[in-house]
Structure 1
Amino acid sequence: MTYGFFQKFKVPEGSAFFQYIATLTGCLGVISGAMHFGWPSPSLPLLLSKNSTISVTTQDGSWLASMPCIGAASGSLLTAYMVDKIGRKTCMLMTAPAYLLAWLMVAFAGTIWELYAARFISGWADGLVFTAFPMYLGEIASYDIRGLLGSSIQLSMITGMLIINIIGSYMSIMDTALISAALPPIFFATFWFMPDSPYYLVMKGKIDEATKSLQFLRQTKDVSNELGRVFDAVKDEREQTGKISDLFTISSNRKATIIVFGLRAIQQFSGTTIITFYAQSIFHEASGDMSPTTATLIYFTLQLVCALASSFLVDKVGRKPLLIISIIGSGVALSLEGTYFFLSNNTTLDVSSLKVVPLVALLGYVVIFNLGMGVIPVLFLGEMFPTGVKAFALCLADIWFGIIVTLVSKFFQIMQDDFGISVPFFAFAGCCGLGLIFIVALVPETKGKTLEDIQMELKGVKKDNAENNTTAA
């Protein structure tokens, strides 16, 4: 039991302190992945410059940016089959050597192919992280803070991209990579001492270890009721076949798949990735003397603050209200953005007095989107699926995310080239309208519900509200 020495720290009975510690240390792995993912933003301009020691074309740059998505698919597929065999924690720990190797390869790369390989390796590790960690958080968290802990994934992604933009904007590619290489060993050294998921331990028949894990995470000796629920849930799920086809043939799993995959598609077709790509140009249009570096730092800092606010609101206000508010506000902001660009590029109207509009719309979009749509779809990854098929579901969700991002990027490029930049913004606003209908009609409220309660609701089984006030993993 690697976390035994933590017992010397005295915390109040029933405290969630060690749940927060487990989340914080695990998030270091997510931050490592996010730093790799965001690395092209400050580094590609240096690689494309005349002073670069590596010959890189703009086409090479696009492949460097997308290579982690290719690697993530292989990592997700591996994790889908390994996470129930070696555990969520072990899958997470496997990413540290991969992230470290990738940074060292970036630091000392002499050819574009070495950079490709480094980006692929980091993407492979991303596949492990974004399949194993949502499972881990959903299974260790008490029902009353599961939203806060689950939303830490998106928060960590934004944090990592902000950090790499800060470091990369002021240092060389080698120095940036070497500094970033310090984080994976720190993640490994700290997360090593955290317990594995009680669900996984029960699945492997390690009941004593599962008991100790729950006692450590809940800081209480009597965990018999919760352990019994975990045991019953795992037993019920073992009676199912546990195949990838169960996601589509079993009604409750099919509902969860539609909800999670639908929200991820709506999230991307609401324009978040494209807004990120064009943040610098929009900032520049509103304020010509603002440097790209300053614009990027403002953008990611604002994202971070709003995502942090959402992580505290999600267990108080609820998932569904935040999603509804977020999708409506995003639609309004995108409509304003599209209207400005349409008047500026397609009419003879003088819009010089309105140049602040794209900036206000952008800032408004960042705030309102990250209060709900930016965080909650990722949170649902760890909440909506039963243990028996969760690995398959998260694997497919990661691959689905890469496909959707690619489709949205291509859609934006075609629409902008053929019809002007205003058209995709209007299209994204229209997708927000469709997303609102989807959320109101299909998305359930999971606030204050145990993982078992959520599964019962998906199966159409009614349960007394009073029973929702029990503790759950």
Structure 2
Amino acid sequence: MPNLSFLSFFKGTFPQFVAAISGTLFAISDGMTYAWTAPYVPYLLSEKSHIKTTHKEGDWLETTLLIGSFCGIPITIYLVHFVGRKKALLIASSVVLLSWLTMALGNRIEYIFAARFFLGICCNMAIVAAPMYTAEIAEQKIRGLLSGIIYINMHIGCLAVYCVGPYLPFYAAPVIGATVVVLELLIFSTVPESPHFLLYKNKVDEARIALEYLRPNGDVDKELKEICDYIERQKSDKGRIQDLFLIKSSRKATFILAVLNTGQHLCAYTVMLMNLHLILEAAGTIYMDSAVAAILFAAIMLLATIFGSFQSDMFGRRALLIFSSLLTCLCLLALAIYFNLKALGYNVLPVSWVPIVSSMIYAGVFKAGMGIVPIMITGEMFPVKLKSIGVTVADAMYVIGGIVALQIYQILSQKYGLHVPFYFFAAWAFFVLTFTIFYIPETKGKTLDEIQQILNGEKVVEEHSQCDTKI
């Protein structure tokens, strides 16, 4: 017999799952884009490549994606705030489709650069608009689970490109990416816009229809009134970028997300994902081929993301961060010590399994907490009037963190050896652990309004003022 309490917990949530999953489908394409350079740059540099590519061009293919993501920030702010979360995602999906087709059909490196640049812009849109949309359509009890879907899809994309890259023709990945985006365009176009955004734009009737779709068994009138009440309190003045620092709750939210979003990369996420082959080869391990290791690494990250998504609403975001940052620190420290001993001339061959084991454990523990919680709470931390600005600033910190982490890794490893950047990454993971313990509040089970009260240092209250809007 099925567990009745489990079934009752998810009763009436199917439309929310449809909206959240379809709205984050192109995160699969996002993950493929992010991990694409690992298997395909070696191909482009080889004699078998159908496009002549220099080593310098190969290096810039990675950076072009991040530049596009950074340049997409003002576009993202405009679209999510004035056009809507849903329409922003559909526009981005359309551009992603054209970019994948360009990569599949292009016969010059310039086409690949252009496609990577526009994919970067759209990746930015996915990281900003999708968490906002998911946080605003989800019930409190499953908000953490639904917010984690985007990371699950991203790592499905990473795993897919690692699997097809070394073994199938160049056009295979673009075909898969384009197919995923077409599915999103077909399915996501049928679901409603965020009720929060519709009420913010005074579209009460459309917001009611959206809630009736999303809450088939819920008290639509009560929730519509609660959202309206929340919106009215947040619309007293127009959100300005300086309010991120002048308003106490937004200042704290900005600081938390800046530390967590940069911290993901400064705890070696980007470095590990994009350089795993080279790291294992430098370790001198004889236990696993680098291509197989990359597939296993991505598979573990995917499973850990699923685990973290389900556990975030059970144990809380804060507990996952503490657990994850502690074990991440230990894994990175093990890698640093191993490379340090190797650099000092010690015979590390008998323990050359350490880099593989540490890397695989890292994949699991990092993604179960530090790799997923930041995006879960990104859509929860800011009031409506500052959400598009705040989430976009947080995303900018994520992009900057990736660029800085790659530079730290390349400069320190070339000048001093691989152990030095790993010592740095381990120290940063310890900093995130300490920061979480003393500064980050728990958002599990809290309404978006209650989270604002907590960030302001206020006692959470449940009373609601009257809303002037007719409901």
Could you say whether these structures have the same fold, taking a TM-score greater than 0.5 normalized by the shorter chain as the test? Answer: yes
Specify every segment of 5 or more residues in structure 2 that has no aligned partner in the other structure, as ranges. 1-7, 465-471
Deviations 1:113-136 (A, max 9, x none): 111111111112112222211110
CA distance in 2, matches of 1:14, 1:179: 33
34-43 vs 185-194, which deviates more? 34-43
Q: CA deviation at 1:466?
A: 11
- Which amino acid letter does the alignment assign opposite residue 326 of structure 1? S
Partner in structure 2 of residue 201 of structure 1: 198
User: Structure 1 residues 364 and 233, CA, compared in 2 at 3 Å: closer, same or farther?
Assistant: same
Give the aligned partner of residue 5 of structure 2.
none
- CA distance in 1 between counterparts of 2:454 and 2:438 reads 15
1:53: how far off? 2.7
- The equivalent position to 1:297 in structure 2, one of 295, 300, 303, is 295
Partner of 1:330: 328
TM-score under structure 2 length normalisation: 0.93
Matches of 1:376 and 1:422, distance apart in 2:
28
The two structures, once aligned, show a CA RMSD in angstroms of 2.0
> Are 1:338 and 1:425, in contact at CA under 8 Å, matched by a contact in 2?
yes
Corresponding position of 1:120: 117
Deviations 1:93-132 (A, max 9, x none): 0022211111111112121111111111111211222221
Matched, 1:63 2:60: yes
Give 3-state SS (helix, strand or coil) of 2:238's partner: coil
**Which one of the candidate residues 157, 167, 171 is aligned to 2:168?**
171
2:273 — aligned with what? 276
**Partner Cα distance (1:267, 1:127) in 2:** 16
Q: For residue 251 of structure 2, what is the aligned residue in structure 1?
A: 254
- The range that moved more, 70-79 or 117-126, is 70-79
SS of structure 2 residue aligned to 1:145: helix
Amino acid in the other structure paired with 2:156:
T
- Output the CA distance in 2 between the equivalents of 1:374 and 1:22: 23
Alignment-derived partner of residue 108 in structure 2: 111
Q: Distance in 1 between matches of 2:235 and 2:117?
A: 35
CA distance in structure 2 between the aligned counterparts of 1:27 and 1:286, rounded to whole angstroms: 39
Find 2:374's aligned residue among 367, 374, 377: 377
Query: Does structure 2 conserve the Cα–Cα contact (< 8 Å) formed by 1:282 and 1:359?
Result: no
| Match in the other structure for 2:448 | 451
**Residue identity opposite 2:89 in structure 1:** M
Q: 2: distance between equivalents of 1:39 and 1:398?
A: 21
Pairwise CA distance, 1:350: 2.4
Cα distance in 2, alignment partners of residues 416 and 446 from structure 1: 38
Q: In structure 2, what is the Cα distance between the partners aligned to 1:12 and 1:146?
A: 13
Work out whether residues 137 and 146 of structure 1, in 8 Å CA contact, stay in contact via their aligned partners in 2.
Answer: yes
Q: Show the counterpart of 1:8.
A: none
When structure 1 is superposed on structure 2, of 213-222 and 191-200 the one drifting more is 213-222
Residue-by-residue CA offset, 1:298-317 (whole Å, 9 max, x unaligned): 11001101111111111001
One-letter identity of the residue aligned with 1:278: N
CA contact (8 A) 2:24 2:126 kept: no
Q: State the 1:145 CA deviation.
A: 0.6
Match of 1:317 among 310, 315, 318: 315
1:28 matched to 2:19? The reply is no
Structure 2 counterpart of 1:343, one-letter code: L
Give the distance between the partners of 2:28 and 2:62, measured in 1 at CA.
17
Between the aligned partners of 1:129 and 1:227, the Cα distance in structure 2 is 27
Cα distance change, pair 326–289 in 1 and its aligned pair in 2 (3 A):
closer
How do 1:29-428 residues align onto structure 2 when only pairs under 5 Å count?
29-220=26-217, 222-284=219-281, 285=283, 287-288=285-286, 290-347=288-345, 349-428=346-425
Q: CA shift at 1:37, angstroms?
A: 2.3
Distance in structure 2 (CA, Å) of the matches to 1:82 and 1:430: 38
Per the TM alignment, residue 286 of structure 1 is displaced from its structure 2 partner at its CA by 6.5
Mean Cα deviation higher: 244-253 or 137-146 = 244-253
Contact kept in structure 1, 2:100 and 2:175, CA below 8 Å: yes
Output the CA distance in 1 between the equivalents of 2:265 and 2:86: 29
**Which stretch shifts more, 349-358 or 401-410?**
349-358
Counterpart of 1:438, as a letter, is F
What is the Cα deviation at residue 391 of structure 1? 0.6
C-alpha separation in 1, matches of 2:332 and 2:171:
38
Contact 1:280/1:292 (8 A) holds in 2: yes
Please tell me whether the aligned partners of residues 13 and 220 of structure 1 are also in contact (alpha carbons under 8 angstroms): no
Structure 1 pair 422–444 and aligned structure 2 pair: CA distance change class (3 A) = same
What amino acid sits opposite 1:168 in the alignment?
Answer: G
C-alpha separation in 1, matches of 2:46 and 2:446 = 53
Q: Distance in 1 between matches of 2:232 and 2:460?
A: 20
* Number of aligned residue pairs: 456
Normalising by structure 1, we get a TM-score of 0.92
Whether contact under 8 Å (1:13, 1:219) holds in the other structure is no
| Partner AA of 1:316 in structure 2 | M
How big is the shift at 1:12? Answer: 11
After superposition, the Cα gap between the structure-2 partners of 1:272 and 1:179, relative to the gap in structure 1 and judged at 3 Å, is closer
Aligned amino acid, residue 332 of structure 1? L
What is the rounded CA distance, in whole Å, between the counterparts of 1:293 and 1:350 in structure 2? 25
Contact 1:79/1:128 (8 A) holds in 2:
yes
Structure 1: how far apart are the matches of 2:101 and 2:244? 39
Which residue pairs with 2:459 in the alignment? 462
SS in 2 for 1:199: helix
Q: Which moved more, 1:272-281 or 1:12-21?
A: 12-21
Q: Deviations over 1:303-358 (max 9, x none)?
A: 101111111111001111111111111111111111111111113x3222111112
Contact kept in structure 1, 2:38 and 2:274, CA below 8 Å: no
Q: SS of the residue aligned with 1:169?
A: coil
Shift of the 222–304 alpha-carbon distance from structure 1 to 2, 3 Å rule, reads: same
The residue type paired with residue 309 of structure 2 is: S
* Partner Cα separation in structure 2 for residue 276 and residue 39 of structure 1: 10
Residues 384-421 of structure 1 show CA distances to partners (whole Å, capped at 9, x for unaligned) of 01111111112222222111111111111121122211
Task: Give unpaired runs (5+ residues) of structure 1.
Answer: 1-10, 468-473
Q: Distance in 2 between matches of 1:376 and 1:229?
A: 26
Question: 1:78-101: per-residue Cα shift (whole Å, max 9, x none)?
Answer: 121222222110000002221111
**Bigger mean CA deviation after superposition, 222-231 or 301-310:** 222-231
